[in-house]
Chain A
Amino acid sequence: MTPTVSRKSYALTWLGLLGLTLLTTLLGFIDMGPFNMMAAVGIAAVKAALIAGIFMHALFEGKLVRVVIAAGVMWFLIFVIWTAGDYITRGWLPFPGK
Chain B
Amino acid sequence: MKLPAPKVARWIDDRLGASQFARTALNKIFPDHWSFMVGEIAMYAFAVLVLTGIYLTFFFEASTREVVYNGVYAPLRGQTMSAAYRSGLDLSFQVRAGLVMRQVHHWAALVFIGAIIVHLCRVFFTGAFRRPREINWIVGVTLLLLAIANGFFGYSLLDDLLSGTGLRVAYSIALSIPIGGEWLAFLFFGGEFPASATIPRFFVLHVMILPALIIGLLSAHLAILWHQKHTQFPGPGRTERNIEGSRLWPTYAIKSVGLFLLVAAVLTALGGLAQINPIWLYGPFKPATVSAGSQPDWYVGWLDGALRLMPPWEIRAFGHTVPNPFFPGVLLPGLTSGGLYAWPFLEPRFTKDRGPHNLLNRPRDVPVRTAIGAAALAFYTLLFLAGGNDILAVQFHVAPESITNTFRVLVIVLPVIVFLVTRKLCRDLRRGDSHPMQRPVGSRVRRTATGGYDEVDPDGQAPAVPDRDRA
Say if A and B assemble together: no
